[in-house]
């Protein structure tokens, strides 16, 4: 699973769209979807994690867990 997929899953559980996260955090439109193939900047990932009420480590671990399965 990618970082994007992990974030999308957490956001869906909280009934928040990825678009809303980007807009509320003033991130570039579509930047989170780019994390499907690349790693985000640490400050951007931390902002998203704070917004979702989780740690950046939680997001990264979630992304890693599914890759191995």
Q: Which residue has the tokens 């994690």?
A: 49
In terms of residues, how long is the chain?
69
Task: Output the pLDDT for position 65.
Answer: 86
Task: List, in order of start, the domains of the chain with CATH numbers.
Answer: 3-68 (1.10.260.40)
Cβ neighbour number for residue 5 with a 10 Å cutoff? 15
Q: Is the pTM of this model over 0.95?
A: no
Task: Output the pLDDT for position 38.
Answer: 93
Residue-wise pLDDT tens digits, 38-61:
999 999 999 999 999 999 999 999
Query: For residue 32, what are the CA distances in angstroms to 27, 68, 69?
Result: 8, 22, 23
Contact status, residue 3 vs residue 35, Cβ threshold 8 Å: yes
Structure tokens of 27?
Answer: 């991130």
Q: Which residue has the tokens 């939680």?
A: 58
């Amino acid at each position: 699973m990618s970082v994007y997929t992990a974030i999308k899953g957490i956001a869906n559980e909280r009934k928040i769209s990825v678009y809303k996260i980007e807009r509320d955090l003033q991130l570039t439109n579509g930047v989170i979807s780019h994390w499907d193939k690349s790693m985000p900047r640490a400050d951007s990932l931390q902002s998203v994690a704070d917004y979702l009420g989780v740690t950046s480590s939680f997001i990264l671990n979630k992304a890693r867990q599914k890759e191995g399965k």
